[in-house]
Amino acid sequence: MKGHKFNKSIFRAYDIRGIVADTLSVKDAYYIGYNFAKKIRDKFKSVNIVIGYDGRLSSTILEKSLIQGLFDNGANVTRIGLCASPMLYFASIRLRAEGAIMITGSHNPTNYNGFKILTKEGSYFGKQLLSLMKIKTMPIMQGNIHYFDISNSYISNLVNAISFKKNNLKVVWDPGNGSTGDIIKKLIKHIPGKHILINSDVDGTFPSHHPDPTEEKNLVEIKKTIRKYHADIGIAFDGDGDRIGVVDSQGNFISGDKLLLLFAMDILKKKPRSKIIADVKASNLIFKTISSLGGTAIMSKTGHSLIKTKMKETNALLAGEMSGHIFFADEYYGFDDALYASIRLLNIISQGFNIKEYLKKFKNLYSTPEIKVFCEDSYKFKVIDEIIKISSKKYRDVSYIDGIRVNVSYGWFLIRASNTQPAIVIRCEANSKKNLISLIKEVDFILSKFDLKLNY
């Protein structure tokens, strides 16, 4: 077997991701599979691996090469085909696999793709991913490959979670041409109420809009549809179905941290003193409210793999990110599943929960969304290191959990490097519009030292 050289940039903090035919190749997929099979055999002896893929145009060819690599190193491969990421996580548990790989570019542009990897012990990330770059040549030892349809079992699992108090909810669903489309078509047949489905055909070119449900520019159509049908709620998904975006009946976007608090309030009623994790981008009000309700609020680094690991370490029952990843471990498996989160949300709304009243909690807070400033992958972490050096001397109340989060008397700001995109991520929150503008100017001044511009 000949050697192979990877582009190091594709190995991110918690997954593998790159530009197809540029930084990420079909050969990369082969060697990732080959090396992963070796790692699984060394760890668990048995090598049963589940493989799924999203609707991107490059996913099927990457799947073929990935599976060949696994097969050539003796893995028993179960293909579940086109699916959402949470379906793969579900399949890996139900089929008791030693490992699983999801081929997905998540919410990245159409020319990206990648791999989310896990073992039966949890997420495969950080140094574990980097270890896949080291190729140890071995004789080819063939495994076997078969297909298994997990969709009915997965849908049944979601349907069993339904506990509606009223059956007349009107819901707009937007899979955004991502891999949840086919599943949602089947799922809504089992959910009470009226359901309006838009952009449900799986199409890897994402003709309707970019597959990121946390950016309001991608929610224009769902907002129009909510108004047209006088719907109670709108639910949107990213390209692989592990991130949720929610819009209320008035067209207000409910950010990931607000959605997390809504779920936290529900869980804390049933299970007081629960531990709940929010990522470093979440509002201060989230942490304060969880604590005031008797829960234990924990701040975490951003990243689905990092949060899942933190949940296991702390035995937290719920976790969430601004980006729309929501993780339930109270009555579910602890992985991020936007479809399951949808069911939990609809259960709460059906009990008469008033979202308009709930959002009043945040009326005196003024915040930015996640602002992404383009910065080359090779440069962004160096920028953050320099900003930390500068800011640690200037500010008193600073957190370095993930990048730098600075607290001042009237609010806070966060500057961190994205682990999935060539970008620096910014978020600011203040107790007035004037103070928010002040924080934005402060961040802009810091970035200007590195020839970066905060366009907001």
Number of domains in the chain: 3
What CATH code is carried by the domain that includes residue 408? 3.30.310.50
Q: Which of 106, 200, 283, 300 is catalytic?
A: 106
Kindly state whether residues 163 and 190 are assigned to the same domain: yes
Convert the pLDDT of each residue in 352-362 to its tens digit: 999 999 999 99
Q: Is residue 2 part of a domain?
A: no
Of the chain, the percentage scoring pLDDT greater than 70 comes to 100
Kindly state whether residues 281 and 375 are assigned to the same domain: no
Average pLDDT score, the chain: 95
Enumerate residues 6+ apart whose C-beta is below 8 A from 244: 213, 235, 236, 237, 256, 259, 324, 326, 338, 341, 342
Q: Is residue 454 part of a domain?
A: no
Kindly state whether residues 177 and 280 are assigned to the same domain: yes
Kindly state whether residues 327 and 386 are assigned to the same domain: no
Q: Is residue 453 part of a domain?
A: no
How far, rounded to the nearest angstrom, does the alpha carbon of residue 205 sit from its chain's CA centroid? Answer: 20
Kindly state whether residues 299 and 399 are assigned to the same domain: no
Residue 1 pLDDT more than 80? no
Q: What is the pLDDT, as a whole number, of residue 348?
A: 97
Residue 148 pLDDT more than 60? yes
Instruction: Please give the residue range of the domain that contains residue 398.
Output: 366-448
Kindly state whether residues 338 and 416 are assigned to the same domain: no
Return d(Cα 130, Cα 164) in angstroms, integer: 45
Return d(Cα 346, Cα 328) in angstroms, integer: 15
Q: What is the pLDDT, as a whole number, of residue 41?
A: 94
Q: Is 249 a catalytic residue?
A: no
Contact call for residues 290 and 316 (beta carbons, < 8 A): no
DSSP state, residue 98: S
Confidence of residue 2 (pLDDT cuts 50, 70, 90): low
Kindly state whether residues 267 and 393 are assigned to the same domain: no
Convert the pLDDT of each residue in 94-108 to its tens digit: 999 999 999 999 988
Confidence of residue 421 (pLDDT cuts 50, 70, 90): confident
Kindly state whether residues 185 and 134 are assigned to the same domain: no
Lowest mean pLDDT among 289-298, 403-412, 414-423: 414-423
What CATH code is carried by the domain that includes residue 331? 3.40.120.10
Kindly state whether residues 74 and 165 are assigned to the same domain: no
Kindly state whether residues 191 and 248 are assigned to the same domain: yes
Query: Phi, psi at residue 318, to the nearest 5°?
Result: -155, 145
Kindly state whether residues 175 and 303 are assigned to the same domain: yes
